[in-house]
Amino acid sequence: MTLLLLVLSVFLIILLTAKWDVHPFLALLAAAFFFALASGMSFDTIVASINGGFGTTLGKIGLVIILGVIMGTFLEESGAAYKLAEVVLKLIGKKRIHEAMGMVGFVVSIPVFSDSGFIILAPLNKSLTKRAGLSLAGTAVALKLGLFISHILIPPTPGPIAAAGILKADVGLVMLLGLIIGIPTLLVAIIYAKYIGKRNYIDPNPQVTAEEVEQRLENAPNAFKSFLPILVPILLILIKSVMEFQLSEEELTGTLIEILQFVGTPVIALLIGMLLAFTLPKKFDHKVFSGTSWIGKSLSEASNILLITGAGGIFGAVLQSSGIADALTGLVQGANLGIWLPFMLCAVIKTAQGSSTVALITTASIIAPLLGTLGFDSELQKVLVVLAIGGGAAVVSHANDSGFWVVTSMSNFDTKTGYKLYTRGTLVVGICSGFLVWIASLLIS
């Protein structure tokens, strides 16, 4: 019954947005209320889930979205994004944009949270795609899947490192085998992205003509200055992640380290990136900060993304409060599936409640006391269990995942297109990584 309600809720979202053109915010709110009432949740729990889901989701990523969108607008309007695209295109060629974005996403998401990485890199991806005359469908999915793969497989991303800690697996081995599993999975993701890009054309920036691009390039800052708003936040977040991974709590003291930790948090790093973006226009004009100019445009775009992302958080919180993850876990737990058991458990929990990190941690907690019973005794087998859980954490990203709404809202996808392109892509990535882990388990045992 719970599974049926989940399917009906997702169907309701697609029906409202794709068939009747209802705004995703209202569609998600309607689906959340439908599921909550149909599953028999108490009124107090429904109210707490709605308030908590909206507030918690936007508390984590809301300001990051706003700062990222402002930064993106200044990169685009000043011509800096197109300058970056011109430099990158000269280095890699117009035919390798999907490969470039997938690989950049894969590397960036090791230290940087997946959604934050997409927000930072989306302006560069759009400008590259526009300059190359490609469809945003393929390049946006290549970038997000590249970010997603390392997000679920490679420490020090929070999910994999937490799962490794719970299962007492060697973090270094998880990183090494995560890379070995992740790289071929990335290749499959890039092939998939190129395939859908050829069959689904989405204009990266329909408001800007080729002539306007050339005009903006004439007034654009130099390449070094153009790169700074993107590179500096990534480097600051990377430094913080490496420090926290390498140093003990006793060593994480001192003024310099405290400053680096402060500026390396995503909100502060993106705030610095935004301030650097303010220096991009060749001539300073205070009018760009008005409500009717660049800042006004940014906040208008950000508000739409915030509403949809927050509503996705409500839907996810309602599902979590209903206990759907526990109910669906019971369907899988009794089966004798070997290495596929942790994979399927995590896939069920991920699909049910939306967060890959929560799914990784929850599944690791369930599997930890069963390791001996299941025959996962050796160090390598524990590492493979962590990676199997990581693969399951990809299956699948849909309406209850904030990442789904970040990629669709920032890539000109409607909800139906998001399911068709991105949700299907997470299924491909998850199954591919699951099979690779299974093959590795056969070779090791």
What would the pLDDT profile of 205-258 be if each residue is shown by its tens digit? 776 666 776 777 778 888 888 888 878 887 887 788 778 767 777 777 788 888
Closest C-alpha among 379, 370, 302 to residue 341 = 370
CB neighbours (10 Å) of residue 90?
9
User: What token pair was written down for 231?
Assistant: 């590179």
**Residue 110, φ and ψ in degrees, nearest 5:** -65, -45
Helix H, strand E, coil C: the string for 20-76 is CCCCHHHHHHHHHHHHHHHCCCCHHHHHHHHHHHHHHHHHHHHHHHHHHHHHHHHHH
User: What token pair was written down for 112?
Assistant: 């940087």
CB under 8 Å, gap of 24 or more: what pairs does 20-25 form? 24/308, 24/311, 24/405, 24/415, 25/307, 25/308, 25/310, 25/311
pTM listed for this prediction: 0.74
Proportion of the chain above pLDDT 70, given as a percent: 94
- Give the separation between CA 216 and CA 208, rounded to whole angstroms: 10
DSSP state of 420: I
User: What pLDDT was estimated at residue 111?
Assistant: 61
DSSP state of 203: -
User: What pLDDT was estimated at residue 327?
Assistant: 66
User: What pLDDT was estimated at residue 331?
Assistant: 61
- Give the separation between CA 429 and CA 434, rounded to whole angstroms: 8
User: What token pair was written down for 31?
Assistant: 């689906």
Q: Is the dihedral of CA 57, 423, 270, 221 positive or negative?
A: negative
CB neighbours (10 Å) of residue 335?
11
Identity of the residue numbered 210: A
Q: Is the dihedral of CA 422, 424, 427, 432 positive or negative?
A: negative
User: What pLDDT was estimated at residue 130?
Assistant: 87
- Give the separation between CA 302 and CA 74, rounded to whole angstroms: 14
Residue segments in the chain with a per-residue pLDDT below the cut of 70: 18, 111-112, 156, 207-210, 213, 245, 324-336, 369, 445
